[in-house]
Structure 1
Amino acid sequence: MRTTRWIACVAVAGALLAGCSDSGEDEGKPGAKEGKRTGPSPSAEATPPGTQLEVPALYDTGRGWESTEEGTQMVLPRSGAVAVYWERPGESGPDEYGFTVLDAATGEKRWSSVPVSPLGNTDLPVIRMTVDGKEYLAAWSSGTTDADAVNRGKEVVAIDIFPADASGDGVKPVHVEVAGAGKVRNGGAGLLVSDDGDTVVAVDPATGETTEYGVDDQEPPADCPECESSWEVRGLTDNGLLMGTSIDIDYGGFWVPGGWTAADLRPKGVDPDGSPIAQVISDDLLVVDWGQERTSDAIVWSAVDSASGKTLATVRCKGDSTSIDDHLSADGRYLAHGGRVFDLEEGTGVCYERTDSTNAVEFQNVTDEGVVFGYAISSEGFSSAEEPVQLDMRTGEIEEFDDVNTEFPFGDTAGFGLFWDEASNTMVAYPHTS
């Protein structure tokens, strides 16, 4: 049995966040590497998986399933599934890509896609996103179509979108082509296609419908009528674009044209001339770093409803911030954001930042039960060490594992933790203990 010792909780509590959907962790953030398929996955009620890892006590290694399906694993937390994004050589052209989606509780295949290919001999990046509570997988590329010896063809951005709740074999995508060169990103409430020009195109992943926005046509905020000289698109909300300014203009803000501005929701005590940083978490949620309070050394963070501009909650954290990766529990209740974790149902939050007396914690995953996994980062000179820790948001206690080789899941959904074993190139799923 693993032994643990309790370490002190250095926290700043605050009301935070209410209701949000999966982030994601958006663009091609795989939870595992590659392996080779050997056969169908066993049921979670069958014999113990042959792959036995040292994992937190939350998981029962005596049950579960495993798979060596070849590809890159991407958890689909809202769907209770895990997608395997595979690649194989094309018979007479570019490489082919596709998805095989497994049930997270049983390992059984839910659906598989037809193969799709990029325009030209390039990779096919993938985006995972959640809009209106539904998850989607989108693969995109840019290049030239309809070209031959005489005709130069036309530049387009091609996007293939698959709903995560599909079923059966040979699932076909919603195929979208946007004229011109550009890149695709997760804008929050939809995909955004842009080429740093005067327009951006929003794509609804559910239907493939496109909406073109003229960047220069957007209404500037009332407190910065000249902002159009240096503005840029930061994301997409249910009420239009989320706009911001680049660093060469003396205006620290962001806004939804015709809706709200940063000035409307700036917390008391922060510098009104500061430059807050807004990060898109999901289709309806932003997290904003407002910078340091004028009367203390605390950094102020807010959760904001991106459509309405309503501040859902604010938390103040002392110490240097860690990375700003975000991880939502599958049910949307808990949000891990760098060294901060928020209970969205209770409106509370805690901080684990680097101070003169404490090391920072970088959180990697969070479960529906409020168990959060991460690493305490200690630094000495040019070297650093990572110690695995586990926070229980229900009790506020954080524990340090004696075994530094403890494996954390790359995803947790449907009551199962999903792990990757480097030694055998195997994905293994263990259920939560009863």
Structure 2
Amino acid sequence: MTVPAEEGAAPIATAPRSRLVAYLTRTSKGGYAVETREARNGRVHWRSQPWSPPSPPDGTAEGWTVPGLAVLTDRGREYVTAYAYGERRPGDPSVAVVSYRADASGRAVAPTTAADVPVTGAPESINADGTALVVRMEGTTASVAVATGTVHIYKGSERECTACADRMVAVVPKGPVLTSSANGYEVAGAWSSAQVTPPEYKTRLAELEGITADYLIGSWRAPADFDEARWVVHDAESGKALAAVTCSVPGNGTRRQLYTPHTSANGRYLVAGPVAFDLGHARGVCLDGGNDGDPVEFTAVDDDGLAFGTSAPQQGSDEPGRPVQVPLETGKPKTLVAGTLVPVAMVDGRGVFAAPAGEQDVRLTAYPRF
């Protein structure tokens, strides 16, 4: 099937517990529908009612033409969540959010919750990597609880979280996740990077790299030193360090957009950017381009610890990036044949692949691990 895309990004998400692949399709009347398929056999599991999100106003920057899609987990239950920025009426912009239970059934499924977040213009960012959708605007941040549809807008005057307006980037079960270059990262009211950093790293800068509902990934590095950072996976509830590896920070600190981590369905393996972790053995793999190799950005990992990604050529090289697979037991990348697609996700033993299909679409397929 084909899925709408913008600049190569397509609204595709996976629900590993429900063993489903979710995506948006266009309807005949110009709207969208959420559809899910069983990863093992490709059968349609459920399809939503048509959804008509607000339309981006003229002059909106690229990146908002196609709605986003994510699967968020709240209290053990998966929700397929679609979101879009635009205007339903001129001069009245908002971010529309609809959520569906992943274990739904039927061919005209109504959203479990629906919400509109008022905004003054295109958001600075929308993050769906925790247990709630977070919309960041200048001086204000809003969270949308996917299970209830409750919208909480932080303006800086809230007693329970005065820093949420400027520093919140996600929500996990214990509370809002905050980050800043001066204060590191924390789960408000639960723990902070300053509290869990070992003594030998106390003088280093703590920076947030990625978030899931269960884990926070951070890096600790010396000021102005981007080659010797210590990447750490924290338990989101307690802050306990579960695994760590030394790896450089890509872009010499100029990239501050969070990575979207990918976990194996069994929860043992986790990949984000140039690092991969085996949480069962509390160890990590770094593929940052050291030792004369090309840096790798991971995209997926399966239950056996076989990770996939794309290598990026060293600066100044004319060579294109190449697809790779990496057994995390050895950490040694194997370059695949040029043009090989690497999975964007793994679910129920299948790799999910997205291949270009024209200028504005991608073709979605799933195959057993090769």
> What TM-score, normalized to structure 1?
0.68
Give the superposition deviation at 1:300: 0.6
> In 2, Cα distance between the equivalents of 1:402 and 1:119?
42
Q: Is the 8 A contact 1:270 1:293 kept in 2?
A: no
One-letter identity of the residue aligned with 2:31:
E
Query: Relative to structure 1, is the Cα distance of residues 120 and 342 closer, same or farther in structure 2, using a 3 angstrom cutoff?
Result: closer
Structure 1 residues 124 and 419, CA gap change in structure 2 (3 angstroms) = closer
Question: Residues 298 and 421 of structure 1: is their aligned pair in 2 closer, same or farther, counting only changes over 3 Å?
Answer: closer
Is the 1:364–1:373 Cα contact (8 Å) retained in structure 2? Answer: yes
Please report how far the alpha carbon of residue 141 of structure 1 lies from its aligned counterpart in structure 2 after TM superposition. 3.7
Match of 1:137 in 2: 80
Distance in 2 between residues matched to 1:401 and 1:265, nearest whole Å:
37
**C-alpha spacing 1:294/1:153, structure 2 compared with 1 (3 Å):** closer
Corresponding residue for residue 82 of structure 1 = 21
Out of 321, 326, 330, the position equivalent to 1:396 is 330
Aligned length: 345
The residue matched to 2:341 in structure 1 has which SS? coil
Distance 1:160 1:353, change over 3 A: same
C-alpha deviation, 1:392, in angstroms: 1.7
Closer, same or farther in 2 for the Cα pair 1:141/1:85, shift >3 Å?
closer
| CA shift in 2, pair 1:109/1:356, >3 Å | closer
Check if 1:109 corresponds to 2:40. no
Runs of 5+ consecutive residues of structure 2 not aligned to the other structure: 58-64
Matching residue of 2:156: 215
Deviations 1:263-320 (A, max 9, x none): 1012333352x43211342123110011149999631111123333333333223x56
Distance in 1 of aligned mates of 2:240 and 2:211: 15
**Residue of structure 1 equivalent to 2:127:** 185
- Looking at structure 2, the residues matched to 361 and 195 of structure 1 have their Cα atoms a distance apart, in angstroms, of 32
Contact 2:273 2:297 survives alignment (8 Å): yes
Percent of residue pairs identical: 28
Q: Which moved more, 1:300-309 or 1:163-172?
A: 300-309
Which structure: larger Rg? 1
2:241 pairs, out of 268, 293, 311, with 311
Secondary structure of the 1:383 match is: coil
Tell me which amino acid in the other structure corresponds to 1:205: V
The 1:400/1:237 distance shift into structure 2, 3 A limit, reads closer
CA contact (8 A) 1:103 1:110 kept: yes
Deviation at 1:348, TM superposition (A): 1.8
1:298 alignment partner, one of 212, 220, 228: 228
* Contact 1:271-1:294 within 8 A present in 2 as well: no
SS in 1 for 2:195: helix
Indicate conservation of the 8 Å contact 1:72/1:85, yes or no: yes
Spell out, residue by residue over 1:25-46, the C-alpha distance to the aligned partner (whole angstroms, 9 max, x if none). xxxxxx98559xxxxxxxxxxx
Partner of 1:202: 143
What residue is the counterpart of 1:175 in the other structure?
Answer: 114
CA contact (8 A) 1:80 1:104 kept: yes
- Amino acid in the other structure paired with 1:88: T
Change (3 A) 1:136 1:279: farther
Report the equivalent of 2:350. Answer: 416
- Partner residue of 1:264? 195
SS at match of 2:201: coil
Report the Cα distance in structure 2 between the residues aligned to 1:172 and 1:401, rounded to whole angstroms. 44
Q: 1:193, 1:201 within 8 Å by CA — same for their partners in 2?
A: yes
Task: Report the Cα distance in structure 1 between the residues aligned to 2:286 and 2:116, rounded to whole angstroms.
Answer: 44
Partner of 2:264: 329
Distance 1:310 1:271, change over 3 A: closer
| CA distances 1:214-251 after superposition (whole Å, capped 9, x unpaired) | 5333568xxxxxx9699522322323322233x5xxx3
TM-score between both structures, scaled by the size of structure 2 = 0.78
358 and 208 in structure 1: CA distance in 2 versus 1, 3 angstrom threshold = same
Unaligned runs of 5+ in 1: 1-30, 36-70, 221-226
The higher-RCO structure (CA 8 Å, 6+ apart) is: 1
Equivalent residue of 1:398, what SS? coil
